[in-house]
Amino acid sequence: MPNTNSRHPDLLPLYPIIYEKSVRRALSEDLGRAGDITTDAIVSLEDTAKAAIMTRSHGRIAGIDVAGSAFHCLDPRLGFEIMLHDGMDAGPGATLAVVHGAARPILSAERTALNFLAHLSGIATMTRDIVVLAHPARVVCTRKTTPGLRALEKYAVRAGGGSNHRYGLDDAVLIKDNHIVVAGGVAEAIRRVRRRIGHLVKIEVEVDTLEQLASALNEKADAILLDNMTPETLAEAVRMTKGKAITEASGGITVETVEAVAATGVDLISVGGITHSAPALNLTLDLSFS
């Protein structure tokens, strides 16, 4: 039986303030101007129900508290009992949570709750699968996230056993190819950045040749993003770096290619697909009237 009293020990929960606006916005989008006219016509105010959120496929869970928030936004009196917490794995037919109380808000919040839970669990599941293949390299996400949902999607990556890259443009420096073009070279780009940033800010540089890598290492960059390199070139880049900087492989990496990339010895592997292309976990809400 699942432990219903604790979440995954390595996964810190999100504060509700991080996701409540997104949940309310999604509910408002669904309810529109007149509310749930189907449910309101068929279900009376006095009807009560019990509903189980269940999986139809194997997956890693993420977003269970977000799903609960969708129900509580419509009726704070609803009971929401979590059976499997974020960061845990579930098979087909597993009950993730049970919601009970007034039937109308349960039915009206159903799709919003399942949309968040299925999407975030899909990210966590794909991340989990790639993390296993990438070991011992760490898998990190990117900024290729759904607008407005970055904090939730990056949380789902953590639930899948992955790690987060920078959250935005303000928490770390990543000098990319177009920056290098404007600056006239890798070295000058790093020098310009170093004159402007604080002493606690890390500098990562994207390179696509070994010549650029040598220049970045000479300027003592903290991390090197090795962009769209073959496994052979990645292995040579790791040898050149020799622990002088963190190495990160990036560029179109998939479930099919990640093992070969990890075998080169890079420290990190960034995979945009875990947030922008993960298929949703197949979920259902099974309701019975009480």
Is 111 marked active-site? yes
| Domain positions in the chain | 16-124+279-289, 132-276
> For residue 53, what are its two tokens?
């959120």
Position 43 confidence tier, pLDDT thresholds 50, 70, 90 = very high
**Predicted local distance difference test score (pLDDT) of residue 1:** 30
Taking the domain 132-276, which CATH number applies? 3.20.20.70
Is 21 marked active-site? no
Q: What percent of the chain has pLDDT over 70?
A: 97
Catalytic residue among 50, 144, 192, 202: 144
**Predicted local distance difference test score (pLDDT) of residue 7:** 57
Question: Is residue 5 over pLDDT 50?
Answer: no
Residue in 168, 171, 142, 170 with CA at minimum distance from that of residue 248 = 142
Is 144 marked active-site? yes
Q: How far apart are CA 272 and CA 138, in angstroms?
A: 14
Catalytic residue among 111, 143, 166, 202: 111
Catalytic residue among 21, 56, 176, 239: 176
Mean pLDDT, range 254-275, rounded to an integer: 97
**Predicted local distance difference test score (pLDDT) of residue 4:** 40
Selected from 3.30.540.10, 3.40.50.740, 3.40.30.10, 3.90.1170.20, the CATH number assigned to the domain covering 16-124+279-289 reads 3.90.1170.20
Mean pLDDT, range 151-162, rounded to an integer: 98
Q: How far apart are CA 169 and CA 192, in angstroms?
A: 16
Catalytic residue among 36, 227, 248, 267: 227
**Predicted local distance difference test score (pLDDT) of residue 10:** 77
The CA-based dihedral angle spanning residues 17, 12, 148, 180, taken in that order and rounded to the nearest 10 degrees: 130
Q: In angstroms, how far is CA 89 from the centroid of its own chain? A: 16
The position carrying tokens 């443009």 is 169
Catalytic residue among 65, 110, 129, 206: 206
Is 206 marked active-site? yes
Residue 276's CB: how many other CB atoms inside 10 A? Answer: 15
Position 8 confidence tier, pLDDT thresholds 50, 70, 90 = low
